[in-house]
A and B are shown apart, each in its own frame.
Chain A
Amino acid sequence: MIKNIRATSIHHFIKATILLGFSLYILQLTITGDILQFIVPQLVIYVKIAMTFLMIVSVFQYYIAILSLKKTVIICECGHDHDHVFGHDHSHHSDKFTLKTGFIYGLFLLPLLLGFLLPNQSVANALASNRGMNLIGVTSHNQGAKVEVDGNEDPALRKLFTTNVYDKDYAKLGMMLYKQDVIEMKDKWFIEKLQSMNMFVNNFQEKEIKITGFIYRESGLASDQFIIARMGMTHCIADISPFGIVAEAANSNEFPNNAWVTITGKIGKTTYKGQPVIKIEVEKSEQAKAPKVQYVYPDWEFGSKL
């Protein structure tokens, strides 16, 4: 009997420690900023709340564990559910350390061990070839009645960016980019800008563009072509995929895969997977440092911020 009580307390302590481990791990990630390697910025606040909750629960769990050391009563009084970790058998088998309990604790320790021991490395590039480049929004031309964007833009410009009702925001963004001398692809609205330019490919011919990203290659590209891309994340790493532009350079073999470069060039036109898309004719390139957070995130409400 005494053996049983001890085992129960140990279980309580282990659980409390695992909970504390998770909350400390998340705390570490938020302090170092590495949390953005795992999830999008919008989710960070929820994860912080979760971390706080985990910490509070863990304190209570330690309290329960200490109580269970002193008196056995608490386990029988309201502890009938506390022992459910191992599959709801109400017998006291669950208090013993079996292969099964070891396996389950192991499951919970695995992410903690991996998390604390292995460095957080960006995996942005590693997945690129797994996924295939994203060509968002290029199919939208042939649908719906054509409309011009309202506003006080030059009428000729508005005519150039005629689109359907749904893509008005991209037309607006397109007009903004059109007026720039050099279109710079930075973290902000990377995906949206790309989408806008691919929607109005013909309007952007011969324009200057500057982009920083990593190099990768896919089958089906010509020998003087490669892709310069960023990894876009909409929620967590499970859904990341590359967003990029086909680049053309005579010295393309000087651009190794996974290298980060800044490329300046003229916008041209090519087809990728049967769709007309923009390409860059490389004029100038220099090595770039990989940013600390390598992902770009879609902005759902970019239209209202224009």
Chain B
Amino acid sequence: MFLSNTAIQKDTPTKSNRHYLFLISLVIILLLYISSTVGFGSIWTSSKLQLFKMMFISVIIEAMPFILVGVFVSALLQVFVTDQMIRKFIPKNPILGIIAASVLGIIFPICECGMVPAIRKLIKKGMPLYVATTFILVGPILNPIVFLSTITAFRNQPIVAFSRMGLAFSVALIVGLIVYQFVNSNQLREEVHSSHSEHHHSHDDHSHNTVKNRVIEVMGHSVSEFFDMGKYLVFGSIIVGLLQVFVSQNSLIELGKNGSASNLVMMGLGSILSLCSTSDAFVAQSLQTIFPKSSLVGFMVFGPMINIKGILMMLAVFRSRFVIILSIFVFIFVFIGTLVLQSFL
């Protein structure tokens, strides 16, 4: 155990360094390419760069309050909540647990940028994976703020808001059960699970429980969490910015406006745009003259569950394989859901 552990540690830095080397060279190639085609002088003043900058920073600033809430909650959990307390709170029955997780969003209405850091800490402290998965999927949708904004956007068709909530709940329930049945519970990115909690216990033995130390500890954890999650947020925002600048919404819409193709197009658009779940209803509403309602529901369910920003945040917590499988399952069930809705709406 010990031996294999050290082996991994020796291995990882070089391996990940290679990844980063690859990324950096990619960036350099891109820069060279751009400079050779348009020249750097014009880049600096180019409207595309300006657009990218505004989009990129806008997404970061918009997410900042939420991610800070998440980071702070996570730090509080780390310092003040023990693993036993978490275990006591979670129902033993898996179905009850999943339903409880779905309802949790109603009490904590934060979008996924805030959710992910808190969830990560909760999993490390013993929250079962299926409960966490359900919460990550359903939390950004099934909460009062999002319900209100959806029903405001679609004020003349409340059925759309209810379909959105219903579909989100059903998909999260099914995916949660699948995760419970078939997925090994250890899907965290790093295997610090055991060593971490051990560390925490020994940590408590130090008994430096003075207020000052606790405050510093919370702040220190907040900072490390912020940088840990933030790098994924920033990277996600870069991709969102690039896509928004270079991929025109109109050209996507041309891919399919009718039937099941439109469901796919809208789901794709939802995950590319990576909008906050409180504002996407207004975008969906603006497209209702072009697209059938079932596809708009697909947009508003799939988008908040699986989007570029969210996937990158999830990669901070889970293994890539798990994130990919999860995305595929969510995709399949949301798609089926929109097909069912097609005959009703």
Contact = CB atoms under 8 A, between A and B. Distances in A.
B is a partner of A? yes
Contacts of A167: 155-156
Contact of B17 (A61, A81, A100): A100
Contacts of B223: 15-16, 19, 57, 60-61, 64, 82
A108 B54 contact: no
Interface in B56-88: 56-62, 64-65, 68, 72, 78
Given A139-B288, A144-B156, A239-B275, A298 B282 contact: yes
Contacts of A82: 220-221, 223-224
Nearest to B253: A132
B299 interface: no
Interface in A80-106: 80-85, 87-91, 93, 98-100, 103-104
A134 to B, nearest CB: 4
A89 B5 CA distance: 11
B286 A241 contact: yes
B50 A126 contact: yes
B208 A123 contact: no
A306 interface: no
Chain A at the B interface: SS class = helix
B190 A87 contact: yes
Contacts of B56: 111, 114
A89 B13 contact: yes
Contacts of A144: 156
Given A78-B213, A234-B279, A241-B283, A123 B227 contact: no
Contact of B228 (A43, A84, A164, A241): A84
B16 A87 contact: yes
A275 interface: yes
Given A236-B276, A238-B275, A103 B23 contact: yes
Contacts of A99: 17, 20-21, 24
Interface in B259-299: 273-276, 278-280, 282-283, 285-286, 288-290
B280 A47 contact: no
A118 interface: yes
B214 to A, nearest CB: 10
Nearest to B246: A130
Nearest to B244: A238
Nearest to A84: B224
Given A77-B208, A135-B286, A298-B282, A100 B220 contact: no
Contacts of B9: 89, 91, 93
Contacts of A132: 249-250, 253
Interface in B1-31: 9, 12-13, 16-17, 20-21, 23-24
State the 5 A-B residue pairs at the shortest beta-carbon distance, nearest first.
A235-B279, A60-B219, A237-B58, A166-B156, A236-B62
9 contacts: A38-B61, A64-B220, A87-B16, A88-B189, A88-B190, A111-B56, A115-B53, A118-B50, A137-B285
Interface of B: 9, 12-13, 16-17, 20-21, 23-24, 47, 49-51, 53-62, 64-65, 68, 72, 78, 149, 152, 155-158, 189-190, 192, 195, 199, 203, 206, 208, 213, 215-217, 219-228, 230-231, 234-235, 237-238, 240, 244, 248-250, 253, 273-276, 278-280, 282-283, 285-286, 288-290
Given A88-B189, A130-B250, A235-B279, 7 more contacts: A15-B223, A39-B62, A100-B13, A104-B227, A114-B53, A236-B59, A238-B274
